[in-house]
Amino acid sequence: MSQSDEQPYRDMVSEQPDEQIDTWAADLFMDFAKRMGVGNAIASFCAVTGLDAKGFQRAFLVGGGPDHVVGIDTGGQLAAPIFELPKAIAGLRRVDPQARSKLVNFLVGNREVMSYTA
């Protein structure tokens, strides 16, 4: 997708209910991790949402993720099991009143990673 495609995509995503945005963000998060590595996926999520390592862990835990699975990988990046990554989205919703706009930004900024949009 080109930069000129960004605004129509952003508009389409922004029109969706929270549940759909969360589903797409969860799918993107897992697809991103599978394609480009868990550490890179978490780093992208944190960059867009403004979370540092402790903020990510907090969102992850508040979203229902088990506390013993977030760690640092051999490359020095945050790591967690791929199938648990969506817990950070649920947690972000609970701890950040700007979560919706941040999740839209996550989807738009990483739209090339998405394998599909439903």
70-81 per-position pLDDT tens digit: 999 888 999 999
pLDDT digits (tens, 9 = 90+) for 12-48: 999 999 999 999 999 999 999 999 999 999 999 999 9
Local structure of 87: helix, strand or coil: helix
Q: What spatial distance separates the first Cα and last Cα of the chain, rounded to whole Å?
A: 17
Sequence-distant (≥ 6) Cβ neighbours of residue 8 within 8 angstroms: none
| Confidence (pTM) | 0.89
